[in-house]
Amino acid sequence: MKADPRGVLTGTHFLDGDHACCEGALAAGARFAAGYPITPSTEVVERFAARVPTVGGCFIQMEDELAASIALQGGVWGGAKAFTVTSGPGFSLMMEHIGYAAMTETPCVFVDVQRGGPSTGLPTLPAQADMMQARWGSHGDYEIIALCPNSPQECFDLTIQAFNFAEEFRVPVMFMMDEVVGHMTEKVVIPPADEIDVTPRKHTHKSVEDYLPYSTNGDMVPEMAHAGDGYNFHVTGLTHDEHGYPNMTPQVQDKLVRRLQNKIRSAADRICLFEEDRLDDADVVVVSYGITSRVAQRAIDAARDQGLKVGKLRLITAWPFPEKKIAELAAHVKAFVVPELNLGQMVHEVKRAADGNAKTFAVSHAGGAVHNPDEILNTIVEASRC
Amino acid sequence: MAKGRVSIVVERCKACGFCVEFCPTHVLALSSAFNSKGYHPPHVVHPEKCSGCDLCGMYCPDFAINGTKIPQATAQQAAGGEK
Amino acid sequence: MLNILDNRLDNRPDNTPDDTVNPVEQFLRSDRMPHIWCPGCGIGTTVNSFAHALIESKIDLQSLALVSGIGCTGRVAGYVKLDSFHTTHGRAIPFATGLKLANPKLNVVVYSGDGDLSAIGGNHLIHAARRNIDLKVICVNNLIYAMTGGQTAPTTPSHATTSTNPYGTFEPAFNLPHLVEAAGAVYVARWTTFHVRQLARSISEAFQKKGFSFIEVISPCPTLYQRRNKMGDGLDAMKYYKEKSKVKHGAPTSEVGLTLNGEIVVGKFVDRDRPDYQTMMRAQYVETLGERYLGDEVETECVCG
């Protein structure tokens, strides 16, 4: 399906990442958002609040992030594509509702413009320290999808991708921006609506008698109905059977939770997006994502100038983690260098996926600024000698 | 002559006694019988007094009883045919 | 043990539903009965009044959605044959807000307990009332956290014994009608589970109102509140409600606070009109955006076979 032209601001723009994310959401068909102010993310919903009345839909500023992160899910079951936007402390408050969205299979997008933590931390300065929280922050076993843009253009493009994944898999998608990407202003090209692919909601076509809300018939993603459609369906965060009714047996739990994981894991090859460069002859691979990938680019170029065989793997999808790609590379490279604006998060995933076949070097940074490219370069040099 | 009658789904009853207590015409009493969960459901002790007001149904927290008004023609049969 | 099949318990030929089927039954997920509520619990009784209100108000059932939070009353969503959402603890109101905003044609009922709505969800309660979101909130108040085993709630009357105040509570309790009136609700009533018909009428009236309506229903919790406070069982609670309730329509809500053994003031306390959130929102956008305002109706494209 193509995008609804009402939401698409076709043209060439000079936008910051937050505003580009908003335009991506509108282009993807988001017509409802619930938010709560928090730096450095608020510009996304400020723009949405200004734009959505002229597109058709609404925005509400809720009383806190708990409310915002569940109001958006009410909006989804009311028939809208919906999202919320936050940063560190607010993201922490939203965790329970990420679990609720995963459990109830509510397609929606959570935008997290990452700032320094823990706690109030560095409200106006960047970090990438919510990556593990995005994956594991809610209790219980579940899977989500997380995407990491590294430019305002990607904030537009990948927000659409985030909504499309959310609809296809009926899963909450984490859109993991960072303060620098959110606030940097660059050229953003928004194509015509008929060039934007939008995944429609997987709405059921079954009769009221035949519809079982959580029956999957082999396809791991059930068909959805909206309130008011006449299906009289039930949705609960309790462990539920195909009727959507609570059923608290180990058998039903096993079937449900495994399906929630497998519907994402089995499609990981398709969901895992990455950008690669000069990997063919590489001894060392720099694995990075978000703003850090742009700093790493300079270090990679400098290392190549020195004659070091170094390549780039940029994670666009952080979750599910592209472990297959890392494992393949680990078979013929010496080492991975993983710079990130945290004291070591995704580097552990790289190490796990490399499974001892290649060494792993973290280039940690507590946040508040981006890396000095020399720190990354120095680690590349060290890794090349191992 | 009974103006109404009550229907009881005995297996849903949890013997709270609300229907017995608040029946305005005292039609019901808790039975000495058990349902399969071990509760004593109500039974009709004064069928002729039932007005079919459904207050028992309004009070029953277990959706296990309700009263219905009997159209007058049938009421005569019901009264005559009480088992 | 007596065999119930040999012992007819009604004056019908058998126990199967027939023309005398309970009018409430059409609103229930019969395949989920019996429910989990304890003997003498009042929640099911409130559901009868709710069902009768649906009949009396002739509300379009397809447009009706019911949202619950967590707790004993939170389970109502799982037993009513409506589009029904059992959400997270305290968040029924913000979920319902999103539902209503995304689809303004829906009639949205929030059906939850006192702890869910006024403690963990207290912030949402007052803000939804302030915004005057068009929601019908039915708050079953059993004066305690029941699902978790009888802990003190913000509604537990002073000096009542609970599992977390084993020597008696000493915190003042919320007076919920006063709270929601102050926050902006357009319709506020209180009944007990003894007042089944009055409750049904209040719910019907709330369906006619546009805006934030709040109906508190005092309800027995024989297992945890009555038992722990030596107040007998559910039936004893009902007799107490009958004896101690005083109908005072229009009573100042500041004077309807509950005490451990005292009078229970019931009635319709507030019935006023002010524009609801969506009416105000549309007016504001029309005034400022004129023809550029494209409304709030969301039309989501769906893939349908």
pLDDT digits (tens, 9 = 90+) for A129-176: 999 999 999 999 999 999 999 999 999 999 999 999 999 999 999 999
Q: Give the residue carrying structure tokens 């002073």.
A: C158
User: Between chains, do C4 and B16 touch, taking CB under 8 Å as contact?
Assistant: no
How many beta carbons lie within 10 A of that of residue A167, not counting itself? 28
**Residues A304, C141: Cα–Cα separation, whole Å:** 70
Give residue A334's pLDDT. Answer: 97
For A135, the domain range is 5-195
Strand (E) positions, C146-219? 187-192, 213-218
Q: Do chains A and C touch (3 or more CB pairs under 8 A)?
A: yes
In a domain? residue A203: no
pLDDT digits (tens, 9 = 90+) for C96-149: 999 999 999 999 999 999 999 999 999 999 999 999 999 999 999 999 999 999
| Nearest alpha carbon to residue C118 among C134, C94, C139 | C139
User: Between chains, do B12 and C33 touch, taking CB under 8 Å as contact?
Assistant: yes
pLDDT of C218 above 80? yes
Strand (E) positions, C70-162? 83-86, 107-113, 135-141
User: Between chains, do A56 and C298 touch, taking CB under 8 Å as contact?
Assistant: yes
Strand (E) positions, chain C? 64-68, 83-86, 107-113, 135-141, 187-192, 213-218, 245-247, 264-271
pLDDT of C305 above 60? no
User: Between chains, do C24 and B21 touch, taking CB under 8 Å as contact?
Assistant: no
In a domain? residue A253: no
Give residue C17's pLDDT. Answer: 44
How many beta carbons lie within 10 A of that of residue A164, not counting itself? 21
CATH number at residue A368: 3.40.50.920
pTM: 0.95
In a domain? residue A146: yes
The answer to whether B27 and B49 have CB atoms below 8 angstroms apart is yes
User: Between chains, do C2 and B33 touch, taking CB under 8 Å as contact?
Assistant: yes
User: Between chains, do C293 and A54 touch, taking CB under 8 Å as contact?
Assistant: yes
Cα distance from C104 to chain B (closest Cα, Å)?
A: 31
Q: Where is average pLDDT lowest: B77-81, C29-33, C179-183, C291-295? A: B77-81
Confidence of residue B1 (pLDDT cuts 50, 70, 90): confident
Whole-number average pLDDT of chain A: 97
> In order of start, what are the domains of chain B with their CATH numbers?
4-68 (3.30.70.3270)
pLDDT digits (tens, 9 = 90+) for C144-201: 999 999 999 999 999 999 999 999 999 999 999 999 999 999 999 999 999 999 999 9
Cα distance from C114 to chain A (closest Cα, Å)?
A: 18
CATH number at residue A69: 3.40.50.970
Contacts C196 to B, Cβ<8 Å: 55, 58-59
pLDDT digits (tens, 9 = 90+) for A196-208: 999 999 999 999 9
User: Between chains, do C9 and B42 touch, taking CB under 8 Å as contact?
Assistant: yes
Q: Which of B5, B10, B11, B18 to mutate to test the interface with C (most CBs of C within 10 A)?
A: B18
Last residue of a domain, one of A195, A222, A238: A195
The answer to whether A113 and A178 have CB atoms below 8 angstroms apart is yes
Q: Report the domain count for chain A.
A: 2
Give residue C14's pLDDT. Answer: 45
Q: Which of C4, C6, C10 to mutate to test the interface with B (most CBs of B within 10 A)?
A: C10
Answer yes or no: CATH 3.30.200.20 is held by domain C23-274.
Answer: no
Q: Give the residue carrying structure tokens 């922490």.
A: A92
Cα distance from A175 to chain C (closest Cα, Å)?
A: 21
Contacts C204 to B, Cβ<8 Å: none
Contacts B44 to C, Cβ<8 Å: 9-11
pLDDT of C263 above 50? yes
Q: Where are the domains of chain C?
A: 23-274
User: Between chains, do A230 and C62 touch, taking CB under 8 Å as contact?
Assistant: yes
Give residue C10's pLDDT. Answer: 46
- A183 and A296 part of one domain: no
Pick A74's closest partner by Cβ from C81, C90, C96: C96
Last residue of a domain, one of A195, A217, A245: A195
pLDDT of A307 above 80? yes
pLDDT digits (tens, 9 = 90+) for A244-295: 999 999 999 999 999 999 999 999 999 999 999 999 999 999 999 999 999 9
Contacts B58 to C, Cβ<8 Å: 45, 48-49, 52, 196-197, 200
Confidence of residue C302 (pLDDT cuts 50, 70, 90): low
Whether residue B12 lies within 8 A of chain C, CB to CB, comes out as yes
In a domain? residue A347: yes
- A191 and A296 part of one domain: no
**CB under 8 Å to C230, separation ≥6 — which residues?**
none
pLDDT digits (tens, 9 = 90+) for C67-108: 999 999 999 999 999 999 999 999 999 999 999 999 999 999
Average pLDDT over residues C215-231: 97
In a domain? residue A237: no
Contacts C81 to A, Cβ<8 Å: 232
pLDDT digits (tens, 9 = 90+) for B17-76: 999 999 999 999 999 999 999 999 999 999 999 999 999 999 999 999 999 999 876 655
Q: Is A278 exposed, middle or buried (0-12, 13-18, 19+ CB in 10 A)?
A: middle
pLDDT digits (tens, 9 = 90+) for A22-50: 999 999 999 999 999 999 999 999 999 99
Last residue of a domain, one of A163, A195, A227: A195
Give residue B80's pLDDT. Answer: 41
Question: How many CB pairs lie under 8 A apart between chains A and C?
Answer: 184
Give residue C15's pLDDT. Answer: 43
Whole-number average pLDDT of chain C: 93
Query: For chain B, percent helix, then strand, then coil, each to nearest 5?
Result: 30, 20, 50
